Every structure is written in structure tokens, then in C-alpha cells.
Amino acid sequence: MGLEFYTSRVGDAINWARKYSLFQYPFVTACCGMEFMALWGPKYDVARFGAEFPRFSPRQADLLMIVGTITERQAPVLKRIYDQMTEPKWAVAFGVCASTGGFYQNYSTTPGADQIIPIDVYIPGCPPRPEQVLDGLMMLQDKIQDKRGYVQKRLYRDHLAATGQTAPDLSAAEAASQKIKVVR
């Protein structure tokens, strides 16, 4: 199946499989890694969400976990890792440093990993509680299921452009899905 966008129920089934088998690439650079380990431990147990399997090769991963501060000198490495990942792929900024640069406001720190690569879910906190991370992971799973991931949307746009279609108006459906999220 070459296309990454499916309009049928098959697409829903594939995205369901994707969201429960996220292979993470842990890009762990700083102290947030401690809390990240707690996330994997028996108490919080990220395995319950099917995301426990770390892949230390970006080619086998579909979720990039950016855990910790990104410095300007490190930014090209992060971009390269992200570019090496196969599509569809998602990225999560774990902690306030990866999200915005945090309290580092200086010459050496990148003000947020989204300056380098597109981010799907931002998890604030210094460091975030494991519960927050699980919440962020569930938000990402919702995004994957609803085809709202950054790369998913781009692949969809490319598919429409390649086949000469116009995008259907999904604003009503998106508003409905937002309502569902608030209830959750």
C-alpha cells in the first residue's frame, strides 16, 4: 500500500494499529531522562499504551521523543535523526526545554525543538510528571487515529495535489472531535 492516506475503514484500522505500536526513538539529552525512565518503569508502565519499545535506529522508529534541552550545536544532529526516520512519523517535545527552550535564554540553547523539526505534541513541565507524559501520549494516539499528525496531514495534502483533488471541508468534523477530547 503506497499511499499513506486512506479514506476507507481500512485507514482507520491501520491508524488504530499504528497508535498502539509506537516505536520510539528516545532522543534523551538532559535531566528529563530521569523522569522518562520512570515512565518506562513498572509504576507508570508505558507498555500499557504499546509504546514501550525503544528503537535506537531512527529507521526503525516512528515516534521521536525529544527529551531534554536542544542546543544550537546539537540541532543539526536532531534534524538529521528526524530526516532519517521513515514516514509516517511523529515527534513529541518532552519537557519545557524541548518545547520552548525553558529557562535557558542564551546564546547556546535552541528556543524549542520546533525551530528545527515539526512537533506534534508538547508536554510542559520541568520535568513533566509521568502522568502528564501518558496524557500527552494519549493525545498523540488521538491525533494518529484522526490523521491529524503533521506528517499525516502533509502526506494527505501531497496526495490531493498529486491526484488533482480539493480538500473536503472538515472543520465541522474537527470541531466535533475537539468536543470529544474535552469530555475525555
Partner 1 sequence: MSQRLLDRAHAVFGPRIVSSHAFHGDETIVVEGTDIHDVLSTLRADAEAKLDFLVDLTAVDHYGREPRFEVVYHLRSMATGERLRVKAEVPDTDDGTEPSIATICDLWKCADWMEREVFDMFGIKFTGHPDLRRILLYEEFIGYPLRKDYPKEKRQPLVRRDPNT
Site residues (vs partner 1, CB under 8 A): 72-73, 75-76, 79, 105-108, 110-111, 114-118
Distance of closest approach, residue 61 Cβ to partner 1, in angstroms: 19
Question: Considering beta carbons, is residue 39 or 98 the nearer one to partner 1?
Answer: 98
What phi and psi values does residue 40 have, to the nearest 5 degrees?
Answer: -85, -15
Tell me the closest approach of the beta carbon of residue 82 to partner 1, in angstroms: 10
How near is the Cβ of 68 to partner 1 at its closest, in Å? 17
Minimum CB distance to partner 1 smaller for 73 or for 179: 73
Please, are residues 117 and 104 in contact by the beta-carbon 8 Å criterion? no
**Of 110 and 141, which has the nearer Cβ to partner 1?**
110
Tell me the C-alpha to C-alpha distance, in Å, between residue 49 and each of 23, 44, 73, 141: 11, 10, 34, 9
Cβ at position 119, least distance to partner 1 in Å: 10
Q: Which residues 6+ apart lie within 8 Å of 167 measured at CB? A: 156, 157, 160
Q: Which is nearer to partner 1, 15 or 74 (CB)?
A: 74
Q: Cα–chain-centroid distance for residue 163?
A: 28
- Under 8 Å between Cβ of 62 and 125: no
